[in-house]
Amino acid sequence: HIKDSSTDQVAFFNEDMEKRLLRQDKIVKVLREVIEGKDTESFYLEFQPKLDLMKDKIIGFEALARLRIENLGQVAPDEFIALAEEKLLIYDVGNHILLRACDFLKRLQDEGFHETSVAVNISGIQLLREDFVENLQQKLFSSEKVKKPLEFEVTETVLLDHFSQINETLEAIKKMDIAISLDDFGTGYSSFSRLAELHIDTIKIDRFFIDKISHTAEKDLIISDVISMAHKIGLSVVAEGVEDERQKAYLQKYGCDIIQGYLLSKPLPEESAINFLRRYESDLQQ
Ligand code: C2E
Ligand code: MG
Ligand code: MG
Ligand code: MG
């Protein structure tokens, strides 16, 4: 009997694909149950602190979505957010994330941290929806569940094809007194002239560039130029993915406003985030 390798390959491919589809079905099912409030275990947020270098103060946290599913373990946000976008669940998932982030803001304020902000990542798909702002104003803000100081992080990629539509939405968001950061800056194609037109407050320089600080001669790094150009057009600068002292020292030297990364802390569960903040504040007083 001669083995037919082509059928073998097909069988292998099918098995692989089936596994992938089963995994996706499971994730989508869990996300639906989360949105409907039937599953309160699998989905949660973690919070990563942001440090203001000038003030040596934790000025806020970024909320990062987490999903842990039985038999699948931890599912990365890059996977389940993309899936939520594909299945058009992102609007409901996004609202859920925003409300959970506001629960954390409430907790911060109950603990006496009234100025600490929370940043929420907003998917481009959410921003592109015509009624994004209306939904915010009518469903969320009027419910008094939404707290401030709140910030939205949006990525550059969505701007490429929809610059003016997105910019109008950003303007409306800013009118609601929500700050806006351009996330993963440098990975897209924003020019500085375009950047000046955008209704944003901050750029977050992507980890890719911060990583370069560790193995590039200082004179060859352009981050310092990016920082000063951003400042010239009135934007503040956050560095994401700061992992070592050398990166921090460089960023401090060139006037980067805020850093975030494992050097300071990984994203933390709510309780640990509050403790981190308390500890940081009390260390300052000593
Ligand atoms: P992002 O918004 O750029 O978030 C930064 C990512 O880098 C996070 O990964 C964070 O855990 C990780 N990170 C932070 N500091 C360091 C560091 O020092 N070193 C390294 N190596 N990594 C660091 P995470 O949590 O896996 O999130 C990945 C992406 O998924 C996020 O990128 C964001 O685009 C998306 N995402 C996460 N949560 C949400 C959400 O609630 N809504 C939406 N729409 N997207 C989300
Ligand atoms: Mg972000
Ligand atoms: Mg980022
Ligand atoms: Mg990034």
pLDDT of res. 6: 60
Query: How far, rounded to the nearest angstrom, does the alpha carbon of residue 277 sit from its chain's CA centroid?
Result: 19
Q: Whose CA is nearest to atom 41 of ligand 1?
A: 65
Q: Is the CB of 123 within 6 Å of ligand 1?
A: yes
Ligand 1, atom 8, lies closest to the CA of 64
In this structure, the residue with its CA closest to atom 29 of ligand 1 is: 78
77 lines ligand 1 (CB under 6 A): yes
45 Cβ below 6 A of ligand 1? no
Check residue 78 and give its pLDDT: 97
Q: What is the DSSP string of 19-88?
A: HHHHHHHHHHHHHHHHHTTS-SSSEEEEEEEEEETTTTEEEEEEEEEEEEETTTEEEPHHHHHHHHHHTT
Whether residue 149 has a cis bond before it, omega within 30° of 0: yes
Q: What is the full per-residue pLDDT of the chain (286 aa) written as tens digits? A: 555 556 666 666 678 888 999 999 999 999 999 999 999 999 999 999 999 999 999 999 999 999 999 999 999 999 999 999 999 999 999 999 999 999 999 999 999 999 999 999 999 999 999 999 999 988 777 778 888 999 999 998 888 889 999 999 999 999 999 999 999 999 887 778 889 999 999 999 999 999 999 999 999 999 999 999 999 999 999 999 999 999 999 999 999 999 999 999 999 999 999 999 999 998 866 6
Give the closest residue to 137 by CA, choosing from 179, 103, 169: 169
Q: Which atom of ligand 1 is nearest to the CA of 260?
A: 15
pTM: 0.94
Quote the CA–CA distance of 42 and 70 in Å, as a whole number: 8
Task: Say if CB 147 and CB 113 are below 8 A apart.
Answer: no
How far apart are the CA of 105 and the centre of ligand 2, in A?
Answer: 17
Predicted local distance difference test score (pLDDT) of residue 9? 63
Which ligand sits closest to the CA of 81? 1
**Ligand that lies nearest to the alpha carbon of residue 66, given by its number in the listed order:** 1
Kindly report the protein residue whose alpha carbon is nearest to atom 7 of ligand 1.
241
Alpha helix positions (H), the chain: 5-35, 77-86, 90-110, 124-128, 132-135, 159-175, 192-197, 207-212, 223-232, 245-253, 270-285
Does 49 contact ligand 1 (Cβ within 6 A)?
no
